[in-house]
Chains A and B, each alone.
Chain A
Amino acid sequence: MRLKSTYLLTLAMLLLSFTVSIETVKINDTFRLLTPQTEFEAGHDIVLKFSAMNSSKPNLYLSNSYGSIIIKPVRSRSLLSYQLPKSFSNKAGVVNWKLLNSTLAGKLNIHPKQDVASMETYLGPPSIEAGETDYTMLVVIPTDIYDNPLKDSTQVSIKHQFSANERQDSIYMKNNISYKNIYSKTKTGRILISSESLNKNSKEYDVNILPAIPTDFTITYNRNHEYTDGNQITNFSTSIIKDKYDNIVSDGTYVDFLITNASNYQLKTSGSTVNGIATAKMIHPDHQDNWTVKAFIEGLSESNSISITYNQSVEDFEVAFSERNRIVSIGPLKSFMGQMIPDGLEVKLHIYQNHIKIKTLYKDSFSGYANFNMNPDNFPDNIYTFKIEAAGIKKTYQNIKLW
């Protein structure tokens, strides 16, 4: 039973295949491909010719990697000619064709013209870090006049120059591109790169090698005098900061100068490098102080620690009360040579009433003096305690009566 059905099935299949093949033969007889050539060069005219037994004019379907198209034949007697449009015949690659209303189909290979019209070049990143580990990639695609990449194994030479060295390497097209990784050197500078294929040269490309991360450095300071006038400026500067390959770090590298003063407060100034040297400035304190300064490039490098001492400039000052004690004048504020302190030294007057601070007044010194005027609106007649602070010197006057 089972055998029988197998027989029947086989028979049916056979019969079926006959009918199919008979049909095919019939159609193939109607149209026949007359163009045996399947390999073409881009840019040539490509015409597919068929002989036709009947009078029909079937369309030809074409497809390549860019898209598909249907073209009409030109018929002269029994000859059907299909001219591939330029958009197909100029593009390298495989073109699949199929004659519609028939089973005729096939493919054509179009090869690029082995003649370089342009060098399509990509290079990136445009800047890399010194140290022979970072690299940039050069991709070169020599193309023919129809913008087809040249065929695989086409030689491309890569030329590059760095300081006194010029070098040439050969690479080969593979999968429509050729490429090379160009590694950085230990020195900073610019690599100029070009490429050549089949005697066609590319234009010039360049890659900048930038310095690697900075190494430790030292700092120094200079100042006009060592006194705490709250006016002059102390300059800090670094040694030339370099990376581990002895390249000067790039301009603009940010350096923090952290200052710890005698009260353990962290002050800071900063600078950015020019030719490897970062400079920073800081105004002198207005009271005796000791600074410990250390510079950092956060997470990367640091300097030695230096210490700076500022000596007291104003040794002492006098305080005078007048106008029913409502005017307090402080001064003369004399600096280290006995000269009047430059204008702008801050003088504070803390006013206490019953041991509670009620107000702090601030004045900048002018010609060595600072005058406070306490008007009766704000300070009604009463007994106050005054604490005066200037240049780090504190003076207290208990129980002053204002009236």
Chain B
Amino acid sequence: MKEKSNKYLIAALLLGLAFHGTSIFFTLETTYDALIHLFFADHYANSWFEPWNYKWYTGFTVMSYPPLVHQAIAAFSFIGGLKFGLFTLAIISIILFITGVYRFALLMTSNKTAAGYAAILAVLSSSFVETLHVFGQLPSIIGISILMHALPEIYLWIKTGRYRYLLTALSLIAVTVTSHHVTPIFGMVFFIFPLIGMVIMDTSREQSESTKAITLKIFLRSFLKLFKRIVSFGMLSLVIIIGCILPYWINSKNNPITQVPIPHGSRDNFLEITSSGLVFFLIPWGILLILLPYIFYRYYSKRYLFFGLSITILFVLGTGGTTFIPKLVLGDTAFNILTLDRFTLWASIMSLPLFGEFAYRFAEGDLKTMIQTRFGAIYHRIIGAILAGLFIFMTIFTMSLGYFRPSQPQQIKMLPIVNFLNQDQHDQWRYMTLGFGDQMAWLSAQTNAMSVDGNYHSARRLPELTTRPIERLENSKFKGIEGIGSLQQFLTTPEKYHLKYIFSNDKFYDPILYFCGWQRLRQLENGIQVWEKLNIPPVPSILPKDDVAIWQKILWGIVPFLTVIIAFVLNIQLLWIRALKTKVRPIPEYLNFKNDYNYFSKGLLKATHIWSIFLAIVVCFGIYKFYIKNDVHHSPENTIIAYYDALDFKEFEKAHGLINPESNISIAQYMLEISVTDGLLSSYAKLDAIETIITHKTDSLATVKVHTNWITPLEKINKTDYKSLVKLNGKWFIQPDDIDLDLPPDQLYSDNVTNYFNQGRRRITTEQTHHEDVLKQPVLEVLSAKLIKYNNSYALIGEIQNIDNVPADVVLKGTLYNDANKELATFNAKYHVKHKLMPKEVSSFKINFEGIAWSKTQDSIPKTFNPDEFTPIELNEQPTKFNLQVAGNVSGSDLYKKATLSDLDISQDIISGKLFNSGLEEITIPQLLFTYYDANKNMIWVDHLFLETGIKQQRQQAFEHSFSKNNNILLISDDMKNCFVNGLPNEDISNKIVPNRIKNHTHSKLQSIAHLNYKFIKIEINSYIGNPN
């Protein structure tokens, strides 16, 4: 019999390559994972056999991910660069997937036309489109594709017992495991086990009259007959799964994932968090949801019974946290580590053969005849059009997901950053990116400089990171206070990680950088703001690494490609014959088990109809709910929530649309009023939670109490506002708030200020800075310093003065010791100091000794974050001494000192007053430092307050602060023997430069207060200028 080419398969391949092959160039780089794989590929391209990578997380091993895909991209990159490699591999994966689905469908349906339909549908199936174009999970796709190629071989081995098939099956399993480790393991359970069941069924079928006649006895007999083949295959594939990526398993055992689980949308309750439900359930299933009755009916027929069980489990596991079952089945640990979307992906892929079969029967088989005879041809055509329309809609919708809801910030031009890191030896320090999304991986691939952060969270090693449920510091603002908390720790003690440069693509992080003592360097031409920290030592030339045995490195470098070569050699003959039909080939065994496509079950058709109607009702209800929820004028709550949302996302036109139109505020006026309010709350806050309580409501009027929680880079802000709403023509609108009416006295005014410029290197040269160009470190003096204990925490407080003639950037590092001089803890001053001091300026300071948050008990992580939360370090021993190292560096930036304290009012517990901005810059975030003294004017505590609103020039801003409630503050030590400035003893410096210091000079001017513990207070002002002129 002459074999014909399957035209459907050829059509599917052509369609797939044309559709995906062109669209990947617009989607792949903005997916979640593609750039990470690119980074790994870059690693292999540069050091194929060395698994240690220094560029992320202060070093990690690439043996933490199966290497085949990365090595393949690396190999292609030698021809045309990394991106060429990425796209080439993506195209290969498309071919593998389509052919894989075809072979799998042929195996299942024993019908070439049905398999051809399946291949065409697979090209456009929403789960494949999503995995490739939204998630970019290349290894996953290649893994599952090769697994599908392996399935017929496994079938034939078990059925026929020919060793040729065993070899081809195992060779394909080996390729699967080197490209993705999870696929063969779960593939074993969910694809191969049911397949084995099917083989046994088929063998039993041969021994009985019909499928119906198969009894358990016959089944068991067949099972025993095939037992040896099954076991031998099972054992050998186990050996292959372990052996091919042995270093991976060794690494997993040596560095078990002890980290706190990172939340993933696939574990959400899809009914509560509908966005997760959309991405991880609705899209991957897509039109298959309509066919569920058909899929389950077919898979629960006797031959496919085990596939029926498998797809049921996959379906349920894929529902994530919607039901309790996945958690129960997988157990807490596995549930929290695995991303459950893969189960849905596999279930949808498992459904593809039946989808093809359905399409075949619907388009030209028994189903068509049945519908046409029962409902008429027109009905058939309409249904066909609806199904095809829905199918294409899902494909387009999935493709456009990345366009309408981009998962990544706009593409960043990396060249200026790469150039910056290359010039002037900037790559001698570590860097960090903020707000880059997954593009940080692409930057890492292009530069030799090292980052503290990384994008492959399973490989994190620093306890500061592994104890937090955040993937990267990079996007910490989306991770609430835990994220910000982690970031703060890195920003406060950057010298620990040799972290000197930060590239910020998101101004949200600016305040935290400023208040942690960082300074702006300049804006690169791609708009990225570079921040720098002074006094950071460069990365040492020799860095620690976890080395592994040479055999592991060789195995890791050679085996993956070897598996591909072996699989290629073993399968090439078949491939050749199959593709070119050079010789007649025996019909595979599985084609002997034809399905009967002559009679479509009536009950099934009915069930499908009922199910479809049910689905249609659910969808309509969902759309209605969605409309009600999004109709902003529907109720006062809706209006308020929409208004705050609009403000949060800076959609001022939308916000203006919610303002009472009768108040006659034009959009221009509204924008002006909004734009005059700058500050922490209006420019740097992200709305975290909103609660509305209607205090009073009539038919046309309502007063709403709005509790809002805002996450700012500095601290969490809880606010309560009262909003009035009116109903006009059945729509609710918000009454506008009063605006600031204050008129500043001067139209134009001038001010003389001293500006500084540091030439750095005076000659343009690549040499290290000449010694005569190195400025003297400004001399600082520690005026007082003491170690105190409060509520089981320790802090260093004191005052520091710049006694030099140049402005100084101040870095304070405190270390605690016990009586035996054992070092207990070390930390830097964070917010509680003015980091930039003019000549002779004084600042109070406080160093809190922070521990690594939640490192002790993983389960005690609070459900909601307190951004300002601080985890005191746990000390087993009592600190009794301290060492304070102060370093000054000349800095000419952020020296704005023109905020004044213009009014005060003090009651028992509250201090209130006004700040006046007398200078030429707009203060974006004013910070007050409060220093408390006892009756003898001894300093006992330092506290701070960030003002939510900025202060424009020549305007005032009110503040209110409750006195610190720390009652039991205990002085541990005020011995200043171990205070050092720029490495020299503080006392010597003090005696040399200011021998006749007037001690406690301004104590007579301390503000007295009537408080139980504190008798005097001093207020200092620190100002962050967001947009310097």
Which of B49-57, B252-260, B995-1003 contacts the other chain? Answer: B995-1003
- B903 in contact (CB, < 8 A): yes
A250 and B805: CB pair below 8 A? yes
Interface residues on B, range: 35 or more
Most A C-beta atoms less than 10 A away, residue of B744, B772, B840: B840
Bitwise, B901-943 to A at CB < 8 A (1) or not (0) is 1111110000000001010000000000000000000000000
Within the complex, the shortest CB–CB distance from B242 to chain A, in Å, comes to 52
A299 and B754: CB pair below 8 A? no
B752 and A269: CB pair below 8 A? no
Bitwise, B115-142 to A at CB < 8 A (1) or not (0) is 0000000000000000000000000000
Within the complex, the shortest CB–CB distance from A209 to chain B, in Å, comes to 10
Tell me, in angstroms, the Cα distance from A17 to B42 when the chains sit together: 71
A279 and B806: CB pair below 8 A? no
Tell me, in angstroms, the Cα distance from A281 to B806 when the chains sit together: 23
A268 and B900: CB pair below 8 A? yes
Return chain B residues, CB-CB under 8 Å to A343.
741-743
- A256 in contact (CB, < 8 A): yes
B840 and A254: CB pair below 8 A? yes
- Of the candidates A122, A129, A210, A302, the one whose C-beta lies within 8 Å of that of B1001 is A302
Which of B215-223, B356-364, B695-703 contacts the other chain? Answer: B695-703
Within the complex, the shortest CB–CB distance from B939 to chain A, in Å, comes to 14
Return chain B residues, CB-CB under 8 Å to A331.
none
Return chain B residues, CB-CB under 8 Å to A344.
740-743
A interface residues, tally (CB under 8 Å): 61
Residue of A nearest to B697 (CB): A377
A300 and B742: CB pair below 8 A? no
B994 and A260: CB pair below 8 A? no
- A363 in contact (CB, < 8 A): yes
On whether A205 and B772 interact (CB within 8 A), knowing A283-B902, A344-B743, the answer reads: yes
- Of the candidates A205, A256, A283, A298, the one whose C-beta lies within 8 Å of that of B956 is A283
Return chain A residues, CB-CB under 8 Å to B992.
134
- A282 in contact (CB, < 8 A): yes
Bitwise, B739-768 to A at CB < 8 A (1) or not (0) is 011111110000011101000000000000
- B558 in contact (CB, < 8 A): no
- A127 in contact (CB, < 8 A): yes
Residue of A nearest to B802 (CB): A254
Return chain A residues, CB-CB under 8 Å to B839.
249-250, 252-254, 272
- A280 in contact (CB, < 8 A): yes
Most B C-beta atoms less than 10 A away, residue of A260, A279, A298, A299: A299
**CB interface residues, A 281-324, toward B, < 8 Å:** 281-283, 285, 294, 296-300, 302
Return chain A residues, CB-CB under 8 Å to B904.
265-267
**CB interface residues, A 95-125, toward B, < 8 Å:** 122-125
Bitwise, A233-260 to B at CB < 8 A (1) or not (0) is 1000000000000000111111110101
Most A C-beta atoms less than 10 A away, residue of B771, B842, B903: B903
Tell me, in angstroms, the Cα distance from A272 to B753 when the chains sit together: 7
- B738 in contact (CB, < 8 A): yes
A231 and B743: CB pair below 8 A? yes
On whether A299 and B999 interact (CB within 8 A), knowing A126-B772, A252-B839, A344-B741, the answer reads: yes
On whether A285 and B740 interact (CB within 8 A), knowing A298-B801, A375-B724, the answer reads: no
Within the complex, the shortest CB–CB distance from A212 to chain B, in Å, comes to 9
Return chain B residues, CB-CB under 8 Å to A298.
801, 840-842, 1001-1002
On whether A233 and B954 interact (CB within 8 A), knowing A267-B900, A272-B753, A272-B754, the answer reads: yes
**CB interface residues, B 694-744, toward A, < 8 Å:** 695-696, 701, 703, 722, 724, 738, 740-744
On whether A126 and B775 interact (CB within 8 A), knowing A210-B805, A272-B897, the answer reads: yes
Residue of A nearest to B900 (CB): A269
B994 and A213: CB pair below 8 A? yes
On whether A233 and B746 interact (CB within 8 A), knowing A127-B776, A272-B897, A283-B902, the answer reads: yes
On whether A268 and B994 interact (CB within 8 A), knowing A250-B805, A296-B1002, the answer reads: no
Main secondary structure of the interface of A (DSSP, over half): strand
On whether A254 and B838 interact (CB within 8 A), knowing A125-B776, A232-B745, A300-B997, the answer reads: yes
On whether A272 and B838 interact (CB within 8 A), knowing A279-B752, A283-B916, the answer reads: yes
**CB interface residues, B 420-456, toward A, < 8 Å:** none
Bitwise, A193-234 to B at CB < 8 A (1) or not (0) is 000000000000100001101100000000000000001110
Return chain B residues, CB-CB under 8 Å to A126.
772, 774-776
On whether A253 and B840 interact (CB within 8 A), knowing A127-B776, A231-B745, A300-B998, the answer reads: yes
- B1019 in contact (CB, < 8 A): yes
- A342 in contact (CB, < 8 A): yes
- B1007 in contact (CB, < 8 A): yes
- A145 in contact (CB, < 8 A): no
- B548 in contact (CB, < 8 A): no
A266 and B1006: CB pair below 8 A? yes
B999 and A254: CB pair below 8 A? no
On whether A268 and B903 interact (CB within 8 A), knowing A300-B998, A378-B703, the answer reads: no
A282 and B724: CB pair below 8 A? no
A274 and B753: CB pair below 8 A? yes
- B286 in contact (CB, < 8 A): no
Residue of A nearest to B694 (CB): A377
Residue of B nearest to A363 (CB): B738
- Of the candidates B741, B806, B838, the one whose C-beta lies within 8 Å of that of A364 is B741
- B189 in contact (CB, < 8 A): no
Return chain A residues, CB-CB under 8 Å to B776.
124-127
Return chain A residues, CB-CB under 8 Å to B1007.
265-266
Return chain B residues, CB-CB under 8 Å to A280.
900, 918
Most A C-beta atoms less than 10 A away, residue of B738, B745, B1007: B745
**CB interface residues, B 678-705, toward A, < 8 Å:** 695-696, 701, 703
A268 and B998: CB pair below 8 A? no
Bitwise, A115-154 to B at CB < 8 A (1) or not (0) is 0000000111111010000100000000000000000000
Return chain B residues, CB-CB under 8 Å to A342.
743, 745
Return chain B residues, CB-CB under 8 Å to A253.
805, 838-840
Residue of A nearest to B997 (CB): A299
Return chain A residues, CB-CB under 8 Å to B901.
266-269
Residue of B nearest to A282 (CB): B900
Show 21 A/B contacts (Cβ-Cβ < 8 Å), sorted by A.
A129-B993, A213-B993, A231-B745, A233-B745, A233-B918, A252-B756, A254-B841, A254-B897, A255-B840, A264-B1008, A269-B900, A270-B897, A272-B838, A282-B900, A283-B918, A283-B956, A344-B741, A363-B738, A364-B740, A364-B742, A377-B724
The 8 A-B residue pairs with the shortest CB-CB distance in the complex, in nearest-first order: A344-B742, A377-B703, A269-B900, A250-B805, A281-B918, A377-B696, A254-B841, A364-B741
Residues of A within 8 A of B (CB): 122-127, 129, 134, 205, 210-211, 213-214, 231-233, 249-256, 258, 260, 264-274, 279-283, 285, 294, 296-300, 302, 342-344, 363-366, 375-378
Given A297-B840, A299-B994, 6 further pairs, Cβ under 8 A: A231-B744, A254-B838, A255-B840, A280-B900, A296-B1002, A378-B703
